[in-house]
């Protein structure tokens, strides 16, 4: 049983779809819709006003698409938990969303049970991929990160950069200087990386990175 409501923000340019998704989310115990956006820029503005736990982000949006919005969102809010929303035919874009920082995706025709499971999984730092995934998407995900796990762990490019520098012995201040980030942002990324890996120390992080091929030097 959830002890708190999961705060969700929806970003999609189709108002009819948003309305339907809002109604569905309202019927799920433990989930609360705190905001909505119709494009990527709108998403960033709304995210600044609220503190959503999970973001449901459409891949194709005007002004700023889901990929760019997710990259910027994860940069501004380290630890942001994004689920990509897609339709059939967007397989390559799904992988771009995962690279940008999303940790799961849903097809837009997903049912209530799938959406509920996706939101709860991502909220609890576990990746989630739609049960309706076609073979092409599944093959792409397998190529994206090898290894058979119940929950696929996905790292954004920024997180990979930070993992590499940590493995090289850089401290937060040095990483911040190298990547032109604030030290607080670096520490936020590091915390999220350790949560994804399921480790509690720098030694554990380095061991995990080496074992999974995230650092090869």
- Domain spans in the chain, listed from the N-terminal domain onward: 6-144, 157-211
Q: Which tokens is 163 given? A: 């993992």
Using pLDDT thresholds of 50, 70 and 90, give the confidence band for residue 2.
very low
Task: Output the pLDDT for position 150.
Answer: 39
Q: Over 80: is that where the pLDDT of 25 sits?
A: yes
Report in angstroms the alpha-carbon separations of 29 from 80, 137, 210: 22, 30, 40
Angstrom distances, CA of residue 111 to CA of 23, 46, 107, 171: 12, 26, 9, 45
Q: At 31, is the pLDDT very low, low, confident or very high (cuts 50, 70, 90)?
A: very high
Residue 5 has pLDDT above 80, yes or no: yes
Q: Which CATH architecture has domain 157-211?
A: Orthogonal Bundle (1.10)
- Contacts made by residues 113-121, CB under 8 angstroms, sequence distance 24+: 115/21, 115/24, 115/25, 115/28, 116/28, 116/31, 118/83, 119/6, 119/8, 119/28, 119/31, 119/54, 119/56, 119/83, 120/2, 120/6, 120/30, 121/151
Measured between its terminal Cα atoms, the distance across the chain in Å is: 44
pLDDT given at position 34: 92
pLDDT of residue 132: 61
pLDDT mean over 2-26 = 88
Residue 42 pLDDT more than 90? yes
Distance of alpha carbon 51 from the chain centroid: 15
Q: Which CATH architecture has domain 6-144?
A: 3-Layer(aba) Sandwich (3.40)
At 150-206, the pLDDT tens digits run: 345 667 778 889 999 999 999 999 999 999 989 998 998 898 888 888 888 899 899
Among 46-60, 129-143, 155-169, whose mean pLDDT is lowest? 129-143
Q: Could you give the 3-state DSSP secondary structure of residue 118? A: helix
The confidence score (pLDDT) of residue 111 equals 87
Q: What is the mean pLDDT of residues 52-61?
A: 93
- CA nearest neighbour of 83 among 63, 53, 106, 117: 106
């Amino acid at each position: 049983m959830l002890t708190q409501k999961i705060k969700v923000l929806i970003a999609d340019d189709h108002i009819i779809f948003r309305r339907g998704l809002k109604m569905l989310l309202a019927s799920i115990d433990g989930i609360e819709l705190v905001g909505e956006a119709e494009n990527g820029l709108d998403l960033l503005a709304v995210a600044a006003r609220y503190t959503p736990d999970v973001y449901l982000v459409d891949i194709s949006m005007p002004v700023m698409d889901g990929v760019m919005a997710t990259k910027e969102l994860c940069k501004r809010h380290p630890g942001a938990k994004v689920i990509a929303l897609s339709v059939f035919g967007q397989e390559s874009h799904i992988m771009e969303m995962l690279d940008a920082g999303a940790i799961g995706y849903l097809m837009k025709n997903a049912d209530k049970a799938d959406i509920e499971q996706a939101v709860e999984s991502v909220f609890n730092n576990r990746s989630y991929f739609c049960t309706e995934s076609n073979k092409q998407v599944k093959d792409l995900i397998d190529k994206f990160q090898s290894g058979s796990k119940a929950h696929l762990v996905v790292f954004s490019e920024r997180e990979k950069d930070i993992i590499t520098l940590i493995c090289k012995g850089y401290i937060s201040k040095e990483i911040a200087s190298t990547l032109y980030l604030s030290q607080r942002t670096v520490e936020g990324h590091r915390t999220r990386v350790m949560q994804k890996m399921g480790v509690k120390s720098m030694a554990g992080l380095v061991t995990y990175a080496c074992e999974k091929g995230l650092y090869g030097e």
